[in-house]
Amino acid sequence: MNSEEIITVATGVVKSWDWATETSRPLPKQLDVKVKLIKELVPIIVGLRVKRLGYLAAITGIDLGPEVGEMDVLYQFCPGDVVITLRVRVPRQEAMLPSLCEIIPSAEVFERELQEMFGIQMLGLHTTEHLYLPDDWPDGVYPMRKDFDPQILSH
């Protein structure tokens, strides 16, 4: 498949969720899908997976800061030379997302990162142990959040 075909297939998949998504193409080889309803995220990913577009390259969290009060989470899939990005937005307070471990085993490391660094609770991920942060890291402190203050660690 060349990049045009991949994008056509992917757009076709996402079309069935028309009411919950918004698609755009920032660059010729990028497809951006804004997923407005978190509960549709997993079905969309399964849809992509069925079409073999499901090589999950990364899950990226971005904190937009306390003023906005929300965080972006980007699921990046890279079939061929195309980058398909699924975007969801979660509140900073009590952020929750479904885990993809059941469908994509390699998602686990990324999800644990989100959990530790951003404090997003991953539903269906059975571990809360630290993967990156030290064992004696204080609870409820998430270093990748914008309002993280390293002072808290000094004692």
Partner 1 sequence: MNTKQEPQRFVIPIGPQHPALKEPGNFQFTVDGEIVTKAIVRLGYAHRGIEKAAEERTWIQDLYLIERVCGICSHIHALAYCLAVEQLAHVEAPPRAQAIRVLVAELERIHSHFLWMGVSGHEAGFDTFFMYSWRDRERVMNILEKLTGNRVNYSANVLGGVKFDLDQEQIASIRGGIDFLEERTRHYLDVVATDFMFLQRTRGIGVMSRAQAEIMGAVGPTARASNVARDVRKDAPYAAYKEYPVDIILDERGDLEARFEVRLKELFESFHLIRKILDTLPGGELTARMPRKVPAGEAVMRVEAPRGELLYFIRSNGSDKPERLKIRTPTICNLTSVVKLAIGHQLADVPMILAGIDPCFSCNDRSVQIRTSNDPDGRMLSWDELRQHGIDFYKRLEK
Partner 2 sequence: MKSHQNFGQQLLKSLKDWARVSSPWVLHFNTGSCNGCDIEILATLTPRYDLERLGVKLQASPRQADILLCTGPVTRQARERLVRIYAQMPEPKYVVAIGSCAISGGVFRGCYNVMDGIDQVIPVSAYIPGCPPRPEAVIDGLVKVLASIHSPGHKIPSDILEGALDPEKVAA
Site string for partner 1, 7-26 (x = CB under 8 A): -------------------x
Task: Pick the closer one to partner 2 by CB: 55 or 137.
Answer: 137
Q: Is 153 in the site for partner 2 (CB under 8 A)?
A: yes
Q: What are the strands of the beta sheet with 70-77, ordered from one edge?
A: 21-24, 30-35, 83-91, 70-77, 56-63
Stretch that binds partner 1, among 12-20, 38-46, 79-87, 92-100 (CB under 8 A): 79-87
Using CB under 8 A, which of 60, 70, 98, 141 touches partner 1?
A: 60
15 Cβ partners below 8 Å, 6+ apart? none
- Amino acid identity of residue 102, one-letter, is E
Shortest Å distance, C-beta 49 to partner 1: 9
CA atoms within 13 A on the CB side of 70: 7
Nearer to partner 2, 37 or 153 (CB): 153
Distance between CA atoms of 31 and 78, rounded to whole angstroms? 10
- Whether 100 and 111 have beta carbons less than 8 Å apart is answered as yes
The mark string for 109-138 relative to partner 2 (x by CB under 8 A, - otherwise) is ------------------------xxxxx-
Nearest CB to partner 2, comparing residues 67 and 135: 135
Q: Cα dist. 86→46, 109, 121, 126, 133 in Å?
A: 13, 18, 18, 24, 27
The site for partner 1 (CB under 8 A) is made up of 26, 29-30, 55-58, 60, 62, 74, 76, 78, 80-81, 83, 85, 104-106, 108-110, 129-134, 143-144, 148
